[in-house]
Amino acid sequence: MVLGFIDVSYLHYFGRLDTFKTLFDYNSRMNQSLMVKLCASYYWDPNTQNVITKSGCVELTPNMTRLLKLLVEQCDKPLEGMTIFLHVWEDYDKEYNPRSVRNLISNLRKRIPCLPIENHYGGRYLLHKYRESVPDIGEYVMEILDQAKNGVVITDPNMPDNPLVFVNEAFCTMFGYMPEEVLGRNCRFLQGNERDQPGLTELRRAIIERRDVTVTLRNYTKIGELIYSEVTISPIFDKKSDKLKYFLGI
């Protein structure tokens, strides 16, 4: 179904509310059909299964609707795959299956590409609260990174074994993996058995010393093709606390 128009005053109204959590509570209390702003130009009507975008309307399956509702209610808090499973599948005879949870998250992402769901190590998922105060470019940063032609990855050095927390489409295309297959893992799986490469010594040192470095590594795609990848990694610090937050790899 394609919506012919969206009432602009209506959009202006939700634009003034801080967070979609507040709006969600408000909607439930008032039992009104106001919409929740999920991310740049995506609005969700909690009373239907529809997500409205500038160009039309995306219909969600009942499972996706339950998942989205749960993520919105718990936004900014990581949810275990098990919790998601219990809330989303009504058929309790079905055994817990992390893969089906991953698939459901990935299908929801396909329907709503800019939905800011983060995969955490250990099969946890977090939907970021939409913040109106973020400047326009901020809303698009993830899209910009995702659509960049170079492979872009972000790792979290504050988590055990510095796992990937973001991979863009170019990275996935280059190595032949789906994001779900690589998020949560350390990049070393790309090296296959070649764990003694000269570039690695330099890379390990740079990570310990929290500085940037560019190295060329022998990496392998999912189907075993050799790629010489020139990787530049840079530490990303929180400007206020000076704490190391991420490593960016391009």
Ligand X SMILES: Cc1cc2nc3c(=O)[nH]c(=O)nc-3n(C[C@H](O)[C@H](O)[C@H](O)COP(=O)(O)O)c2cc1C
Binding-site ranges for ligand X (CB under 6 A): 153, 155, 162, 186-188, 190-191, 200, 203-204, 207, 217, 219, 229, 231, 233, 247-249
Q: How far is the CB of 151 from ligand X (least distance, A)?
A: 7
Q: Residue holding tokens 């988590």?
A: 159
HSE (CB half, 13 Å, CA atoms) of 111? 22
Cβ-based nearer residue to ligand X, 46 or 249: 249
Q: How far is the CB of 230 from ligand X (least distance, A)?
A: 9
Closest to 177 (Cα-Cα) out of 214, 216, 225, 140: 225
Cβ-based nearer residue to ligand X, 104 or 231: 231
CA distances from 160 to 155, 157, 163, 185, 244 (A): 11, 7, 7, 10, 14
Cβ-based nearer residue to ligand X, 77 or 210: 210
Closest to 12 (Cα-Cα) out of 99, 154, 132, 157: 132
Cβ-based nearer residue to ligand X, 65 or 155: 155
Q: How far is the CB of 203 from ligand X (least distance, A)?
A: 5
User: Do 109 and 39 touch, CB atoms closer than 8 A?
Assistant: no
Q: How far is the CB of 70 from ligand X (least distance, A)?
A: 31
